[in-house]
Structure 1
Amino acid sequence: MNYVTFGGVTVGLILLGYELVSWWPGRKALMKDPVKHASRLLPYLASWSYGCLTTLGVGGAVGFVSGTVLGLSNWLGDVALVWGVGGQGGQSSARTTFLPLSGPGLGVVLICTACFIAAVKKAGEEQAGVLKRGAWCGITLGTSSGVAGFAAVPLATAATWVGDRVYGAF
Structure 2
Amino acid sequence: MNVTITLGGLLVGLVLILRQFLPSAWVMLKLKAGGKGRGFDGEAAPTRFNIREHVPFLLGTTVGMLAISCPGGIIGTIAAKIVGFSNTAGDKVLAAGAGGTTTSVTRHATASMTQYGALVTVLLVAAVIILRKLLDKKMRGQLGAGVWCGSTLGLSAGAAGLLGSVLIPAVNQLGHMIGGQA
Is TM (by shorter chain) over 0.5? Answer: yes
Structure 2 runs not aligned, ≥5 long: 32-36, 38-44
1:128 aligns with 2:128: no
From the CA coordinates, give the structure whose radius of gyration is larger. Answer: 2
Deviations 1:92-143 (A, max 9, x none): 2x21454211111100011011001111121111110000001111011110
Runs of at least 4 residues off by over 4 Å:
27-34
Q: Distance in 1 between matches of 2:24 and 2:15?
A: 14
TM-score by length of 2: 0.83
SS at match of 2:179: helix
1:47 to 60, 68, 82: 60
RMSD after superposition: 2.1
Q: Which residue of 1 aligns with 2:95?
A: 82
The structural deviation recorded for 1:91 is: 1.1
- 1:79/1:166 CA distance change after superposition, 3 Å: same
8 Å contact kept, 1:56–1:99: no
1:114 aligns with 2:126: yes
Give the direction of change, closer, same or farther, for the CA distance of 1:32–1:56 in structure 2 (3 Å limit).
same
Structure 1: which 5+ runs fail to align? none
Q: Residue 10 of structure 1 corresponds to which residue in structure 2?
A: 11
The Cα shift of 1:166 comes to 0.8
Other-structure match for 1:163: 175
Mark the CA change 1:97 to 1:39 in structure 2 (over 3 Å): closer, same or farther. closer
Shift in Å at residue 45 of structure 1? 1.1
Determine if contact 1:57/1:98 at 8 Å carries over to the other structure.
no
CA distance, structure 1, for counterparts of residue 101 and residue 110 of structure 2: 26
Change (3 A) 1:58 1:115: farther
1:2–1:102 CA distance, 2 compared to 1 (3 A): same
Shift of 1:169: 6.6
Provide the secondary structure at the position in 2 that maps to 1:139. helix
| Aligned residues between the structures | 166
User: 2:162 matched to 1:151?
Assistant: yes
Q: Which position in structure 1 is the counterpart of 2:51? A: 38
Question: Is the 1:53–1:156 contact (alpha carbons within 8 Å) kept by the matching residues of 2?
Answer: yes
Q: What secondary structure does 1:4 align onto?
A: coil
Paired residue type of 2:117: G
